[in-house]
Amino acid sequence: MPETDQAARRLRRPYPDPAWLRWTLILAAAAVVGVLIVIPVAQVFAGALAGGASVYWDNLFADPDTRSAILLTMTVVPLALVANVVFGVAAAWAIARFRFPGRTILTALIDLPFSVSPVVAGLMFVLLFGRQGYLGPFLQGHDIKILFATPGLVLATAFVTFPFVARELIPVMEAIGDEEETAALSLGASGWQMFRRITVPNVKWGLLYGIILCNARAMGEFGAVYVVSGHIAGQTDTMPLRVEKLFQEYNLPGAFAVASVLTLLAILTLVVKAGLERRRPEGPHVD
Amino acid sequence: MSIEVRNVIKAFGSFRAVNDVSLTVPTGELVALLGPSGSGKTSLLRIIAGLERADQGQVFFEGEDATVRAARERGVGFVFQHYALFRHLSVFENVAFGLRIRPRPARPPEAEIRRRVMELLKLVQLDWLADRHPAALSGGQRQRVALARALAVEPRVLLLDEPFGSLDAKVRQELRRWLRRLHDTIKVTSVFVTHDQEEALEVADRVVVMNQGRVEQIGTPQEVFDRPATPFVMNFLGHVNIFHGRVESGKAILGPIALDYPDHPGEQSLPAAGYARPHELEIARSADVAGGLWAVVRHVHTAGAVVKVELADDEGRLLQVDLTRQDHAQMRPEPGESLYVRPRTLRVFVNAAGDAGA
């Protein structure tokens, strides 16, 4: 039945694109992805494994400075994540649930770390905590080290990645509304019970998604960390800083080896994110 | 448990949503808060529940001041207008929620929770849906789950906000009869909010009519319908025909209609209006009995339990008269025909012309 076929095709597309146009567009997209993403990523692994598996292993774990960089990133990133989950949930709650003066300004400020250059963010912390900074003398007097130490790295990383969790949560919480929370309270729940049993399950997909994005960005953070770390080898070098340093020292296999680990972590994040997206119900269903 | 509300005031900015309201709900009664939207009925309900704080005034449960107690300490079951079911929990877990969150000493054992939840689900006739999630239920089913969930904590007071507001007409009718029967079974003091006068009159033991944050009248359905205290109540509880005029020297002169009005014997002339429901008007082809007016038939609507006749007097004001089907069959008024309209009864409210809103 040709008529039905035609009708079906019309349903699929409002008008048919010619084959040459379709294939040109597909090839162009594939070429861009290939040249800009696939080949460079493959190159990272090729460079890392150029000397064989044992050299790769040595490059990663025989060098104490590289080892410490991997360890430092694994310390800084979880701490920054925890801080951002706490602050992100608090900020999203305040913005989605309350109407208060300055709410619009707070909403705009949450996005600030996205628009400020990470280097500037790092400088802000130097200005605040540095020897000549506002809090510098106080910190020195009490023997507290923030700059050129792990706390500074955590602060800088958390600052740069702050918007992810809050940004993911605000629309979800606004769409879901506070009726279920009020219902929980009317049934005798305490504030904490309401939060844990009703709010968290309702926003868990948004929260997880925010954490994953935040994690990906935090692992790769370079600019802000570069400024506050003082790049002391074996002490305040995170993985991205270590890659840069090895590269500057013409140790290409070493640089590629560390870069390959970062890349692997990024790919892993993407896989987890894709898996979550498949399981995540389509948006918060509000009826 | 009885509820008493004393001089409650609640303002949002400069707008007084609840303006000095006092009322009492005796133990075991089912009371309707009836009013148009913006009349303050939902705010009042939320204040009773402790979900909203009154600016002034007090709320007493069983004579005990509950004004400063939080919602969770009041022992109140609240059914929300849009149900507010926990979307991530099954029907069973929704109903069990209030029991599971109790502190350990007060929490019933698992078997007891299971027994009580299933008992409640049977009561609302939904035990066969215990494992479903709210998204898979119809509106009426969700409403009943919300009710079971509120009842699970054995509230001393049940509060329902527009319980049938978002259901279609047929389900509404079934559910409100069902609610009435349920209340007769469990006899928990209940207050529900509605803007539907039919619903309030049919379900409630007592109706509180509210307007602009104030109580207009409190009474049984029959009282508020037959003896409305204010023109607003008269107007809100159904269609009315209004005759504007004046009262003086014990007489009411409402356009062509004149009748005795002994409540105002003074000589001073005051504006007044007479109100009659469509079924309280009668029509005739001749002016045998005085006290009526001539009007021309515009439309006759015959589809329905009563026949609605729409007429216009010589000044173009519309009148509606309801005839029983038998009366209509006998008389057969035709559009264009001039008929004599006479109120069988007329309620006169002095100085009410401005407030009537009609």
Contacts of A180 in chain B (CB under 8 A): 84-87
Contacts of A206 in chain B (CB under 8 A): none
Which DSSP state fits B288? Answer: -
pLDDT for res A134 = 80
Cα distance between residue B145 and residue B125, in whole Å: 9
Q: Is the confidence at residue B348, as pLDDT, over 70?
A: yes
pLDDT for res A285 = 42
Residue-wise pLDDT for B320-341, tens only, equals 999 899 988 888 888 988 899 9
Could you say which of B76, B101, B152 has the minimum Cβ distance to residue A189?
Answer: B101
Question: Is the Cβ pair A184, B77 closer than 8 Å?
Answer: no
Q: Testing the interface with B: which of A173, A185, A186, A192 to mutate, by most B Cβ within 10 A? A: A186
A283 at interface of B, judged by CB pairs closer than 8 A: no
Contact A76, A154 (CB under 8 A): yes
Structure tokens at B317: 């004001």
Which whole number is the average pLDDT over B251-264? 82
pLDDT for res B206 = 95
- Tell me the nearest-neighbour CA distance from A188 into chain B, angstroms: 4
Can you give the length of chain B in residues? Answer: 358
pLDDT for res A281 = 62
Cα distance between residue B142 and residue B145, in whole Å: 5
B135 at interface of A, judged by CB pairs closer than 8 A: yes
Q: Is the confidence at residue A129, as pLDDT, over 90?
A: no
Question: Is the Cβ pair A184, B97 closer than 8 Å?
Answer: yes
Contacts of B78 in chain A (CB under 8 A): 183, 186
Cα distance between residue B156 and residue B153, in whole Å: 9
Residue-wise pLDDT for B176-229, tens only, equals 888 898 899 888 999 999 999 989 999 999 999 999 999 999 999 999 998 999
pLDDT band for position B123 (50/70/90)? Answer: confident
Which whole number is the average pLDDT over B92-118? 93
- Tell me the nearest-neighbour CA distance from A273 into chain B, angstroms: 21
B155 at interface of A, judged by CB pairs closer than 8 A: no
Which DSSP state fits B104? Answer: G
pLDDT for res B354 = 44
pLDDT band for position A1 (50/70/90)? Answer: very low
Among A residues 231-260, those touching chain B with beta carbons less than 8 Å apart: none
A189 at interface of B, judged by CB pairs closer than 8 A: yes
Structure tokens at B223: 């009282």
Higher pLDDT, B144 or B255: B144
- Tell me the nearest-neighbour CA distance from B27 into chain A, angstroms: 21
Contacts of A186 in chain B (CB under 8 A): 49, 51, 71-72, 76-78, 150
Distances in Å between the Cα of A110 and the Cα atoms of A95, A105, A163 are 10, 9, 6
Higher pLDDT, B142 or B252: B142
pLDDT for res A192 = 92
pLDDT band for position A133 (50/70/90)? Answer: confident
Cα distance between residue B291 and residue B114, in whole Å: 68
E strands of B43-164, at which residues? 56-61, 64-65, 76-79, 157-161
pLDDT for res B222 = 94
Contacts of B80 in chain A (CB under 8 A): 179, 182-183
pLDDT for res B357 = 38
| Residues 6 or more apart whose Cβ sits within 8 Å of residue A277 | A209
Which whole number is the average pLDDT over B25-35? 93
pLDDT for res B266 = 79
Which DSSP state fits B153? Answer: T
Q: What is the DSSP string of B69-97?
A: S-GGGTTEEEE-TT----TTS-HHHHHHH
Could you say which of B80, B86, B153 has the minimum Cβ distance to residue A188?
Answer: B153
pLDDT for res A14 = 65
Question: Is the Cβ pair B72, A287 closer than 8 Å?
Answer: no
Among B residues 87-116, those touching chain A with beta carbons less than 8 Å apart: 87-88, 97-98, 101-102
Q: Is the confidence at residue A283, as pLDDT, over 60?
A: no
pLDDT for res A58 = 87
Residue-wise pLDDT for B43-84, tens only, equals 999 999 998 889 999 999 988 888 888 888 888 999 998 899
Which whole number is the average pLDDT over A26-52? 91
Nearest to A122 by CA among A146, A140, A91: A146
Block residue for tokens 């149900």: B83
Q: What is the mean pLDDT of chain A?
A: 86
Question: Is the Cβ pair A186, B85 closer than 8 Å?
Answer: no
Cα distance between residue A59 and residue B1, in whole Å: 77
Q: What are phi and psi of B256, to 5 degrees?
A: -80, -10
Residue-wise pLDDT for A227-269, tens only, equals 888 888 888 889 999 999 999 998 888 899 999 999 998 889 8
Contact A168, A90 (CB under 8 A): no
Contact B85, B145 (CB under 8 A): yes
- Tell me the nearest-neighbour CA distance from A191 into chain B, angstroms: 10
pLDDT for res A50 = 85
Residue-wise pLDDT for B262-283, tens only, equals 887 878 888 888 899 999 998 8
For chain A, the structural domain boundaries read 53-279
pLDDT for res A284 = 43
Q: What are phi and psi of B46, to 5 degrees?
A: -70, -30
pLDDT for res A10 = 54
| Type of residue at A25 | L
Contacts of B154 in chain A (CB under 8 A): none
Strands B64-65 and B56-61: antiparallel
Contact A168, A206 (CB under 8 A): yes
Q: Testing the interface with B: which of A187, A199, A287 to mutate, by most B Cβ within 10 A? A: A187
Question: Is the Cβ pair B71, A186 closer than 8 Å?
Answer: yes
Higher pLDDT, A82 or B294: A82
| Residues 6 or more apart whose Cβ sits within 8 Å of residue B280 | B343, B344, B345, B346
Give percent of chain A above pLDDT 90.
Answer: 38
Cβ density class B334-356: b for 16+ within 10 Å, e for less? eeeeebbbbbeebbbbeebbeeb
Q: Is the confidence at residue B168, as pLDDT, over 70?
A: yes
Q: Is the confidence at residue B132, as pLDDT, over 50?
A: yes
How large is the greatest C-alpha to C-alpha distance in chain A, in angstroms?
A: 88
Which whole number is the average pLDDT over A175-202? 91
Q: Is the confidence at residue B97, as pLDDT, over 90?
A: yes
Higher pLDDT, A193 or B261: A193
Nearest to B9 by CA among B74, B69, B59: B59
Q: What is the mean pLDDT of chain B?
A: 89
Homologous superfamily, domain A53-279: MetI-like (1.10.3720.10)
Distances in Å between the Cα of A11 and the Cα atoms of A16, A20, A22, A23, B29 are 11, 22, 18, 21, 59
A172 at interface of B, judged by CB pairs closer than 8 A: no
Q: How many CB pairs under 8 A join A and B?
A: 59
pLDDT for res A4 = 54
Name the strands in the sheet holding B189-194, side by side, starting at the edge strand that comes first in the sequence.
B76-79, B157-161, B189-194, B30-34, B206-211, B214-219
Contacts of A202 in chain B (CB under 8 A): 87-88
Q: Is the confidence at residue A199, as pLDDT, over 50?
A: yes
- The three-state secondary structure class of B251 is strand
Distances in Å between the Cα of A96 and the Cα atoms of A99, A110, A181, B13 are 8, 13, 13, 21
pLDDT band for position B164 (50/70/90)? Answer: confident
pLDDT for res A232 = 84
pLDDT for res B211 = 94
Question: Is the Cβ pair B97, A186 closer than 8 Å?
Answer: no
pLDDT band for position A83 (50/70/90)? Answer: very high
